[in-house]
Structure 1
């Protein structure tokens, strides 16, 4: 399994609070990797480490075999894009201007803004369904609209590796599927390597080619959804009794929570 991006024996911590110890993760090249696990298990912390936002206290994040913290930030930004869990736009900035910032890593003394940049920005806004918002201030948008604008900026960066921390946050179910379909196209048609944190197990199983299941800051299982998403693993990781059946649309694993047997109102046991 070739891996351009990997975390090796990492200890991840915030000040005095340690999240993970001796954590090793490999991201298969040209995969759509999804990280799953319960709240506060270390999923977003892992993504922050892989994206260079959080430096491991021990171990290292390796990009193409080199420590990601030993390489210039602009060089990394041409290879690795990130949609963080929460982002704050500068005051007064408009949608098109914010998306255009995804092109900054490609600018330089000898390369200024070009028609190619303009086209990439337009394509990124169209792909995420925000082209009609181009002239709107970001501050006036709904949470779902802002999320799609930030994703458009990440797409405009045109990196071969793209990390997405809960990309479906604030989105209704229709827009969630649109965004995940877009991610699948980036993986299948353009060969990009994607790593996403998702809370919805069934969406993760439907779209991922590779899953990383975490609990208590450690990796519990990795592999294709068909081998990772089992009733035993779901109960071990999430504490949820369930059945796992084939999704009637895709054949991928579908988690069906066990029924809670309740006594009808007004009936005594």
Structure 2
């Protein structure tokens, strides 16, 4: 197999409503001001997948994620969640189903880690449902899962970049949505914490059945963790499918302009991209 070309009420979105993938982008034209990033872009996120979007800088990866999360309104086309256009959904109802970790997040001045993570529970609050022991439990578990359990009383603006990133991920986890979008979740993290975060994402997918969509820059991380890979270039989907079908030497050179070899990862058997060696001058 080769990669393929390719409501306004408070009622929560029903899981699995209708047939086919829950989250779909149809005939999307996306851009900023007068600059168009993508045209007639079609994407369907497989249910309960760990989908990773890869591609060179400025190819439209983060723009696509912003559109799928309603942070960016398409110029044309629509994003459908369970068959309904997300543009017409109530904000709280959407936030109980679809969570987003954006690429750059700014915390309010003077907020503690515990208070920021607790904000992930906001979509679950209402006139008849205030803060509960269940909310407390979810916040604590989310902080422990991301390794920030001992930072609850610290101010977010005192933390390192890597610590702040893990706090934002904890807040996204506390939202407890069945679909979670993550835009470059390993930004600012050293290699050990990158693996910890990606392992956490894999557990959320495998053990809790969540659908994850992440933008990653590291192609080898993408190939190791993704169950479904989407490769983009110039605002278009060049190929998509299981990493073993998508990640080939020809595809990497076409998308990234990088000659390479693709071998089996000795740890996982997934594709491992080895860049071609630089030609050395003759002595």
> Same fold by TM-score, threshold 0.5 exceeded?
yes
Shift of 1:24: 0.4
Distance in 2 (CA, whole Å) between partners of 1:260 and 1:94 is: 48
Partner residue of 1:28 out of 46, 57, 81: 46
Partner residue of 2:135 out of 111, 117, 129: 117
Partner residue of 1:171 out of 173, 189, 195: 189
Distance in 1 (CA, whole Å) between partners of 2:273 and 2:20 is: 30
- Which residue is equivalent to 1:233? 251
Answering whether residue 90 of structure 2 is matched by residue 72 of structure 1, we say: yes
Answering whether residue 198 of structure 2 is matched by residue 152 of structure 1, we say: no
Shift of 1:188: 0.3
Q: SS at 1:233's partner residue?
A: helix
Deviations 1:233-259 (A, max 9, x none): 000000000000000000000000001
Answering whether residue 242 of structure 2 is matched by residue 200 of structure 1, we say: no
Structure 1 runs of 4+ with >3 Å offset = none
Answering whether residue 105 of structure 2 is matched by residue 90 of structure 1, we say: no
Distance in 1 (CA, whole Å) between partners of 2:206 and 2:232 is: 25
For 1:137-148, list aligned pairs within 5 A.
137-148=155-166
- Which residue is equivalent to 1:253? 271
Partner residue of 2:31 out of 13, 17, 26: 13
- Which residue is equivalent to 2:147? 129
Shift of 1:189: 0.3
- Which residue is equivalent to 1:217? 235
Shift of 1:2: 2.9
Shift of 1:263: 1.8
Distance in 1 (CA, whole Å) between partners of 2:118 and 2:235 is: 36
- Which residue is equivalent to 1:4? 22
Distance in 1 (CA, whole Å) between partners of 2:51 and 2:59 is: 17
Distance in 2 (CA, whole Å) between partners of 1:101 and 1:74 is: 13
Answering whether residue 119 of structure 2 is matched by residue 101 of structure 1, we say: yes
Deviations 1:136-164 (A, max 9, x none): 00000000000000000000000000000
Q: SS at 1:259's partner residue?
A: coil
TM score, norm. by length of structure 1: 0.98
Shift of 1:135: 0.4
Q: SS at 2:237's partner residue?
A: strand
More moved, 45-54 vs 255-264: 255-264
Distance in 2 (CA, whole Å) between partners of 1:218 and 1:84 is: 21
Distance in 2 (CA, whole Å) between partners of 1:3 and 1:237 is: 26
Gaps of 5+ in 2: 1-18
Shift of 1:262: 1.1
Deviations 1:101-160 (A, max 9, x none): 000000000000000000000000000000111000000000000000000000000000
Q: SS at 1:55's partner residue?
A: coil
